[in-house]
Amino acid sequence: MKNDIYQEMKRREDQERIQNLFRAVLMLAAKDAFGPKAEARKNIERRRDALHFFQSHRDLRIICRLAGADYKAILEALKDKKSKNEEKYNKIKTSF
């Protein structure tokens, strides 16, 4: 019984670590694509790579699932042509 409880606690801790890792991945991509310094000349390659990631819906869907993020909300934010980069970043940030 004690071993079962320990194993369950360990499993939940591992899941939380994985979720936190993929939230960090998602937020770093959002920062690179839409953050305040995304358009700076020195960040052009990082921005291009991050935008490519967000356009790759299969990869984005997988990362969102692992991060516990709302994939549809993120997709809507990305498709919103009227939103400024900062608004897109904030929508992604609040999708968890």
For the chain, which residues make up each domain, given as ranges?
2-93
pLDDT of residue 38: 74
pLDDT tens figures, 13-37:
999 999 999 999 999 999 999 988 7
15 touches 68 (CB < 8 A)? no
- Between 3 and 30, the more confident residue is 30
Give backbone dihedrals phi and psi of 37, rounded to 5 degrees, phi first: -105, 15
